[in-house]
Chain A
Amino acid sequence: MGYTPHTDPDRAAMLAAIGVASVDDLFADIPERVRASGWDLPAPMAEQEVRAELTRLANANRLPEVSFLGYGAYRHLVPSVVAEVVGRAEFSTAYTPYQPEVSQGTLQSIYEFQSLICELTGMEVASASHYDGATATAEAALMACRLTRRHRVAVSAGLNPDYRRVLATYCSGPGVEVVTVPVDLAEGGTGTTDPASAAELLDDGVACLIAAQPSFYGQLEPMAELGEAAHAVGALFVAVVEPTSLALLTAPGEYGADIVTAEGQPLGIPVSFGGPYVGLMAARMSSVRQMPGRLVGATRDVQGRLGYVLTLQAREQHIRREKAASNICTNQALMALAATAYLTAVGPEGLREVAELSTIQARHVAAAIEGAGLGERRFSGPYFAEVAIRVPDAARRHAAMAESGIVAGHVVERDEPALRDTLLLAATELTTDDDVARLVDALEATR
């Protein structure tokens, strides 16, 4: 059979039916100057030629020998069992499980994912799942607007700048105003969101306050106080968390978070430019009908056997069209499965060890740099596994170190011009003492 869906007579019949002379006429509304033209494509290649070309391009990538880059994505050990589970054809080829009678395996895995996220966050219900942490956070803001029927959201400047950009984009369509709550950036200051400054910006027109734990600068925020400030004006409190940190820090459900979002990448997904990652979202059961995304529930069939189904689908766009809670129309099932396999493999103790080792190595980084007189912590107070270090001439030295294969974290002034000469350095359990020694040597060499 042919794989060309329409023949010339088919096209002629369709054009005649809608009264258009040619296919080109369908694009008459698009100005000439923005139309693609003059495709300059190379000649067709044989498979081995394509392989050679792609290998040549791939070899142009420079993989760092040592990296302290975090910025919301973290390099952790991924147990081999994760790839084994995710690579199984039953999972890797399965589409959205609309038909429970043929999708019990996929549905059960999603249900287990939701259960693990609830346990981790201390919340009552988790959806499965979102594209990434940034879009999950933006969805949480819109969810808060629906729940409170308010149209303004307040966001801490301590939230990852990429997340704030995605939030601004998501809010621009429905006309939701975004106000930014400042962070104490003073030299030696806390590097956190001041609850009193937050309270000044909050009123009964604000749907939610969004804050990150740990903050973009790695610092630990006063989440309970920020939550109280939000609740005092009837706003919701959205906590954006780093999932491995929850093995050590208070669960958001315990400090009054109404919605919790996170980037799930640290849970068994390798760092990869552009993803795929997975967004986590958890909330209270009372707000479940305004929660976006897939939701799997457990139930009993007519014979009393345990089974799983997509539930509360009336929130979703395949039922409610433009009135759906969100236009998210897929989930990151395979990445959610990776997170499920990871959490199951490492267990509560393993996750705690990951978080502890990451914090220990971050302190090792700070102490080594300070001990060598090459820089000092930019902020005071507790931090998790990413640390802001003041280093003279940071941008130039960062570039020079990258030339020698060492990525010295992130140059903060690229996002926050007020924070000059500051490197944001991340550590995980994979950061070795030798990595730290090489970083110190590189800082010394570029002084």
Chain B
Amino acid sequence: MSHPANLRYSKEHEWVRVDGSTATIGITSFAADELGDIVFVELPEVGSSLSQFGSFGVVESVKAVSDLYAPVSGEVTEVNGALAEQPELLNSDAYGEGWIVRVALTDTAELDALMDADAYAELTA
């Protein structure tokens, strides 16, 4: 399975895309496939703070309930409201329409603790 080269990945199967000081976070297509049909995503509030590798929400599928872990620290600036009605976007477009939150990145150095696409592909091979 290949993963977008412009993202960084965590061991907990979240991805992060950095645009300037904004980081967009989601779960990987590998995670979505493993979970199966996703039926509910519990989102954090805008303004709340995420800390790297801390839990920030919940994703529920027909076969499991899992916590979401933040790949980076930051304050939530936006949440993907479309997921309330269409949680299946995580299955259909994990790296696009299925993004989960955007945060104002606290420390770009945290990205060094994450994997690139090749390392993540190796982890999930």
Contact between A314 and B40, CB atoms less than 8 A apart: yes
Instruction: Report the bound CA distance from A93 to B42 in whole Å.
Output: 37
Contact between A314 and B45, CB atoms less than 8 A apart: no
B60 at the interface (CB under 8 A from A): yes
Q: Which residues of B contact A289 (CB under 8 A)?
A: 40, 42
For window 295-334 of A, CB contacts with B under 8 Å fall at: 314, 319-320, 323
A149 at the interface (CB under 8 A from B): yes
Contact between A320 and B65, CB atoms less than 8 A apart: yes
Q: Which residues of A contact B67 (CB under 8 A)?
A: 323
Instruction: Report the bound CA distance from A320 to B58 in whole Å.
Output: 11
Q: Which residues of B contact A320 (CB under 8 A)?
A: 65
Distance between B35 CB and nearest chain A CB, rounded to angstroms: 12
Size category, B interface: under 10
Residue-wise, chain B 14-49 has the 8 Å CB interface mask toward A (1 for contact) of 000000000000000000000000001010010000
Distance between A255 CB and nearest chain B CB, rounded to angstroms: 28
Instruction: Report the bound CA distance from A319 to B65 in whole Å.
Output: 8
Instruction: Report the bound CA distance from A289 to B60 in whole Å.
Output: 11
Contact between A149 and B45, CB atoms less than 8 A apart: yes
Distance between B99 CB and nearest chain A CB, rounded to angstroms: 22
Q: Which residues of A contact B65 (CB under 8 A)?
A: 314, 319-320
Distance between B81 CB and nearest chain A CB, rounded to angstroms: 14
Of A314, A319, A320, which is in contact with the most chain B CB atoms at under 10 Å from its CB? A314
Q: Which residues of A contact B40 (CB under 8 A)?
A: 289, 314
Nearest opposing residue in chain A for B48, CB measure: A149
Q: Which residues of B contact A149 (CB under 8 A)?
A: 45
Distance between A297 CB and nearest chain B CB, rounded to angstroms: 13
Distance between A216 CB and nearest chain B CB, rounded to angstroms: 36
Distance between B31 CB and nearest chain A CB, rounded to angstroms: 17
Instruction: Report the bound CA distance from A319 to B64 in whole Å.
Output: 8
Q: Which residues of A contact B45 (CB under 8 A)?
A: 149
Q: Which residues of A contact B58 (CB under 8 A)?
A: 323
Distance between A150 CB and nearest chain B CB, rounded to angstroms: 12
Instruction: Report the bound CA distance from A396 to B41 in whole Å.
Output: 61
Distance between B83 CB and nearest chain A CB, rounded to angstroms: 14
Instruction: Report the bound CA distance from A289 to B87 in whole Å.
Output: 15
Q: Which residues of B contact A323 (CB under 8 A)?
A: 58, 67
Instruction: Report the bound CA distance from A320 to B40 in whole Å.
Output: 14
Q: A314-B40, A323-B67 known; 8 other A-B pairs, CB under 8 Å?
A: A149-B45, A289-B40, A289-B42, A314-B60, A314-B65, A319-B65, A320-B65, A323-B58
Please give me the 6 A-B residue pairs with the lowest Cβ-Cβ distance, nearest first: A314-B65, A314-B60, A320-B65, A319-B65, A149-B45, A289-B40
Task: Show 8 A/B contacts (Cβ-Cβ < 8 Å), sorted by A.
Answer: A149-B45, A289-B40, A289-B42, A314-B40, A314-B60, A319-B65, A323-B58, A323-B67
